[in-house]
Amino acid sequence: MKLAWLTDIHLNFLEKQERKLFYSEILNKSCDGVLISGDIAEAPCLIEILNEMVDEIGKPIYFVLGNHDYYRGQVSELRNKIAL
């Protein structure tokens, strides 16, 4: 299995069109899935951006949250949302 490994991508700082370009670059790597090791986005938009990635990439996404993923949110609340 070939995975694209991403870390500290902070996608909340990109506009949607820029994120789509980023996703297309991932797809160009011919990977079987994506592994993200933290700092995806800040809490208020994290779930939305993860769902966007799933829709755009269409491959399994494995991730762990980093410290920035909890910014502007509550740890327990975010963990509950992610667990769904």
Q: Please, what sign has the CA dihedral across residues 64, 68, 74, 77?
A: negative
- pLDDT tens track for 2-52: 999 999 999 999 999 999 999 999 999 999 999 999 999 999 999 999 999
Instruction: Report the predicted TM-score, pTM, of the whole model to 2 decimal places.
Output: 0.89
- The CA distances from residue 35 to 3, 72, 77, 78, in Å, are 6, 24, 23, 19
- pLDDT tens track for 52-75: 999 999 999 999 999 999 999 999
Nearest to 9 by CA among 26, 28, 33, 31: 26
Q: Would you say residue 84 has pLDDT above 80?
A: no
